[in-house]
Copies of this chain bind each other. A is one copy, B any other.
Amino acid sequence: MSGELAVVGLGPGDERWLTPEANAALARADALYGYVGYLERLPVRPGQARHAFDNREEGARAAAALRHAAQGAHVAIVSGGDPGIFAMAAAVCAEIEAGPASWRSLDVSIIPGVTAMLAVAARVGAPLGHDFCALSLSDNLKPWQLIERRLTAAAQAGFVIALYNPSSQARPWQLGAALDQLRRLLAPTTPVVFGRAVGRPDENVIVTTLAAADAKNADMATLVIVGSPETRVIPRPGRSSLVYTPRAIEAVRA
């Protein structure tokens, strides 16, 4: 029997966002590997092993799953959101590249999912409706200077900016610094969205402006979207405002 590894995107926190393909991959697996917080969201299945890992151990988690698959098992690694966006798929690829040659003959599949920025954007309208970039604010794995350079390039070129990993207990100042930097490049009225735990019972979404945005509103479970000069807010009496970035940009603004 030849082994199989599926890297499965669960979507952000709500089983209504788990695709049928992801569901089938989970049901088929002999063993699940993943961050303990993701495994807890999944139903226990008789005969299916579970290997829970701490949040930071992506490389070890990927290697353990690959070793298990190489023994002939059907293994699934679970990932919140989409596994290809700042998540487990890249970690699995890195372990395959560095690991034994036999890992390159494994049947590896990546199962896409709804990534956090899509769910947060959907809650408020269409802030990612035109050109945008997605940037991780974590400087654990890259220098802060590079993050600054990318923020400047994105803002100056008029991209909407989705910030993953904006803040954590170990990285308390980075989002504040990023917002300060963006305040020097964008108008104070630029819309900013904080989407925390979207799809979960403790969901909290805040629409504010760049001038008023408070980095304290973000933690590890938050995704932040900073608008472009085109991003607009539609007030709605008795309802939350809509935030969107139009599909058309007139020549005069370019």
Q: Which of A's residues lie within 8 Å of B, judged by CB?
A: 9, 11, 14-21, 24, 58, 82-87, 89-94, 96-97, 104-105, 108-115, 118-119, 121-123, 125-136, 141-143, 145-146, 149-150, 153-154, 156-159, 232, 234-239, 242, 244-249, 251, 254
**17 A–B contacts from the bound complex (CB under 8 Å):** A16-B24, A82-B114, A84-B122, A86-B129, A90-B130, A90-B247, A94-B246, A104-B239, A105-B238, A108-B242, A133-B134, A134-B134, A141-B247, A141-B248, A143-B249, A149-B157, A150-B159
Complex CA distance for A134 and B237, rounded to whole angstroms: 33
CB nearest to A21 among chain B residues = B16
Cβ-defined contact, B146 with A150, below 8 A:
no
Query: Closest residue to A135 on the B side, CB-wise?
Result: B131
In the assembled complex, which residues on chain B have CB atoms less than 8 Å from the CB atom of A15?
A: 20
User: In the bound complex, what is the Cα–Cα distance between A90 and B244 (angstroms)?
Assistant: 6
A136 touches B131 (CB 8 A): yes
CB distance from A152 to the nearest CB of B (A): 8
- Min CB–CB distance A26 → chain B (angstroms): 13
Is A126 a contact partner of B17 (Cβ separation < 8 A)? Answer: no
A125 CB to closest chain B CB (Å) equals 5
| Closest beta carbon of chain B to A194's beta carbon, Å | 17
Q: Closest CB of chain B to A97's CB: distance in Å?
A: 5
Contact between chains at A82 and B24 (CB < 8 Å): no
For residue A125, which residues in chain B have a CB less than 8 angstroms away from its CB? 89-90, 93, 110
Given contacts A58-B247, A89-B126, contact A113 B118 (CB under 8 A): yes
In the assembled complex, the CB of A231 is this many whole angstroms from the nearest CB of chain B, namely: 10
Residues in B neighbouring A248, C-beta threshold 8 A: 141-142
Q: Please name 11 further chain A to chain B contacts, defined as beta carbons within 8 Å, in addition to the given A131-B150, A146-B158, sorted by A numbering.
A: A19-B114, A93-B242, A96-B242, A105-B237, A105-B238, A112-B121, A130-B142, A132-B133, A134-B134, A142-B248, A153-B159
Q: Which residue of B lies closest to A157 (CB)?
A: B153
- Is B118 within 8 A of A254, CB to CB? no
Bound state CA distance, A87 and B153, in angstroms?
25
Point out which of A9, A127, A150 has the most chain B C-beta atoms below 10 A from its C-beta.
A150
Least distance between A145 CB and chain B CB atoms (Å): 6
